[in-house]
């Protein structure tokens, strides 16, 4: 039996969210992936450590959060809609006792934003319960769901994550142990999946053969050493865990009382980390390729200045993700950097629509321009990406209303021309402004004086890694994992453009 204390009604029904799905009101960014966390530490308060790990990963998803702990064979589960700090309190965490914990914070990419789709997904097997937290998207969900339904699996959610959990349960119930059953199930999955899986015997950390979504391993000092899994290193830092290494593409790590064991579950892994993790999704203090992403994003700004210099008085960044690139741009261009926009960091997702006057006045719920800084100035504004262009246009208008004489927009990534099928919601292709318009047309649409994007070469060269080790399909249309035509056709509405 699985005690689940999230018993009250679904407080964010789909009807409330429908109005948020129209193009005008959605954020002008690729929407976040999810955050996963796992810890095996019998002598520690694993629920509280999982809470803080998820707290650090909150930027990856703000719709729901959940933690499952294992106390021997008994599973304690709590999950609900809302931010991590809204879902949990001291009383709830005290009831989540056990030796290991699995946590998740969600942005919905498969399955609607409802409590039934919150994670971890918990299913029963002949060896006991398993709890699964998933970051990514499968591309063969239709086929996998059909297989599971034909095998009489009682799917209760609409997420591919639950399907992975049931696929593991099927293999285990057929007589395999946890590790063998999980590996057999992974071979049934195609797409992007970084997983943390809790069982009565230990936890697993898994990445798909391309390692499209990130997953790292940390250690907690002691005798014996204990292990932590997290989507990013910032999830380790907050609890004082030391970064050990990343889980490799096509690797499964098995963590229990004996320590950490590693298994390569696929014969030909080929690294294809989502490059948008480096540009935008992951926190700037998280480490990838042995450096903080803040350093990488500053290099993007330096390269952007080399490629598209403009004569201006100030460089400003769109908080928070555009700031490191803006600083880099300032360093190379010699144009002073200043804060021209102040972000309200306490604004989360809201289901209350602003008044018509508020919509017309721009985006000031989240960003407010500093008039005395901007007045009479020629401004270069740096952002990491433009997806639909709706927010960017409002932002330009706000800068002009604040007295900016000229507005020159620079983007520290190439034009986003293709949707993502691997766990990021970039919308269908007809909503991607760069798939429909040239750079000159976008500049006119946004009402900027000039617009320039970073080149693809500049973006990948700034990584200082093999350009072939990244997935950049949203810029190129070259998908590392084949996407079934029905799924592809639902988002790829336009022909590939030459923007």
Residues annotated catalytic, as ranges: 34
C-alpha to C-alpha distance for 175 and 65, rounded to whole angstroms: 32
Q: Which of 104, 100, 108 is nearest to 119 (CA)?
A: 104
C-alpha to C-alpha distance for 215 and 229, rounded to whole angstroms: 7
Question: What is the residue-wise DSSP string for 158-225?
Answer: S-HHHHHHHHHHHHHHTT--HHHHHHHHHTT--B--EEEEEETTEEEEEE-TT--S--EEEEE-SSS-
Q: Which residues pair with 128 in a beta bridge?
A: 125
C-alpha to C-alpha distance for 375 and 360, rounded to whole angstroms: 21
Q: Which of 271, 269, 315 is nearest to 412 (CA)?
A: 315
Is the sign of the CA dihedral 322, 326, 329, 333 positive or negative? Answer: positive
321 is in an annotated binding site: yes
Q: Which of 219, 220, 222 is nearest to 244 (CA)?
A: 219
Pairing of strands 314-317, 378-383: parallel
C-alpha to C-alpha distance for 195 and 208, rounded to whole angstroms: 9
C-alpha to C-alpha distance for 69 and 460, rounded to whole angstroms: 40
Residue with tokens 């004086």: 449
Q: Which of 446, 454, 189 is nearest to 307 (CA)?
A: 454
DSSP strand E in 265-333: where?
273-274, 287-288, 291-292, 314-317
C-alpha to C-alpha distance for 384 and 329, rounded to whole angstroms: 12
C-alpha to C-alpha distance for 215 and 220, rounded to whole angstroms: 17
Q: 454, 474 in Cβ contact below 8 A?
A: no
* Residue 317 in tokens: 């960044």
Whether cis (ω within 30° of 0) applies to the bond prior to 158 is no
Q: Which of 252, 229, 248, 247 is nearest to 239 (CA)?
A: 229
Whether cis (ω within 30° of 0) applies to the bond prior to 12 is no
Residues 6+ apart with CB under 8 A from 258: none
189 is in an annotated binding site: no
Q: 439, 393 in Cβ contact below 8 A?
A: no
153 is in an annotated binding site: no
Residue 124, class by beta-carbon neighbours within 10 Å (0-12 exposed, 13-18 middle, 19+ buried)?
middle
Q: 48, 103 in Cβ contact below 8 A?
A: no
Q: Which residues are annotated as a binding site for [4Fe-4S] cluster?
A: 274, 420, 471, 474
Q: What residues are designated binding site for Mg(2+)?
A: 321, 383-384
Q: Would you list which residues are annotated within the binding site?
A: 274, 321, 383-384, 420, 471, 474
């Amino acid at each position: 039996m699985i005690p689940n204390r999230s018993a009250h009604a679904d407080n964010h029904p789909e009807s409330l969210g429908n109005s948020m799905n129209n193009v005008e009101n959605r954020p002008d960014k690729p929407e976040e992936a999810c955050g996963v966390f796992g810890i095996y530490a019998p002598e520690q308060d694993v629920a509280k450590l999982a809470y803080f790990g998820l707290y650090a990963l909150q930027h990856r998803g703000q719709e729901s959060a959940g933690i499952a702990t294992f106390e021997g064979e008994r599973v304690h589960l709590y999950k609900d809609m809302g931010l991590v700090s809204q879902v949990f309190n001291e009383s709830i965490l005290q009831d989540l006792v056990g030796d290991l914990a699995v946590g998740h914070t969600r942005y919905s990419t498969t399955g609607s934003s409802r409590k039934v789709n919150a994670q971890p997904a918990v299913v029963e097997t002949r060896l006991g319960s398993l709890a699964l937290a998933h970051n990514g998207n499968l591309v063969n969900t239709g086929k996998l769901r059909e297989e599971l339904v034909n095998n009489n699996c009682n799917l209760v959610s609409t997420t591919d994550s639950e399907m992975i959990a049931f696929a593991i349960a099927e293999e285990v119930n057929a007589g395999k142990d946890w590790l063998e059953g999980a590996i057999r199930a992974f071979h049934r999955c195609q797409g992007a999946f970084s997983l943390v899986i809790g069982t009565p015997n230990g936890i697993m950390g898994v990445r798909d053969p391309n390692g499209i979504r990130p997953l790292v391993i940390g250690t907690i000092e002691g005798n014996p050493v204990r292990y932590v899994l997290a989507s990013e290193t910032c999830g380790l830092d907050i609890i004082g865990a030391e970064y050990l290494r990343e889980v490799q593409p096509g690797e499964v790590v098995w963590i229990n009382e004996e320590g950490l064991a590693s298994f390569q579950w696929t014969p030909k892994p080929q690294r294809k980390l989502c490059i948008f993790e480096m540009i935008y999704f992951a926190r700037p203090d998280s480490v990838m390729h042995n450096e903080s992403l803040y350093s990488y994003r500053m290099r993007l700004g330096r390269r952007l200045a080399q490629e598209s210099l403009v004569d201006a008085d100030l460089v400003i960044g769109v908080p928070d993700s555009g700031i490191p690139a803006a600083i880099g741009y300032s360093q190379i261009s010699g144009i002073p950097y200043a804060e021209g926009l102040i972000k309200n960091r306490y604004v989360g997702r809201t289901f209350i629509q602003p008044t018509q006057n508020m919509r017309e006045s721009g985006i000031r719920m989240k960003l407010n321009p500093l008039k005395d800084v901007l007045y009479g100035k020629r401004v270069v504004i740096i952002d990491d990406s433009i997806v639909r262009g709706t927010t960017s246009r409002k932002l330009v208008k706000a800068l002009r209303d604040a007295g900016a004489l000229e507005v020159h927009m620079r983007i520290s990534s190439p034009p986003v021309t293709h949707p993502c099928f691997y766990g990021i919601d970039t919308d269908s292709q007809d909503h991607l402004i760069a798939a429909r318009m040239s750079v000159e047309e976008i500049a006119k649409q946004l009402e900027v004086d000039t617009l320039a994007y970073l080149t693809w070469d500049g973006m990948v060269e700034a990584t200082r890694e093999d350009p072939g080790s990244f997935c950049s399909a949203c810029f190129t249309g070259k998908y590392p994992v084949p996407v079934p035509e029905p799924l592809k056709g639902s988002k790829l509405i336009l022909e590939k453009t030459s923007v």
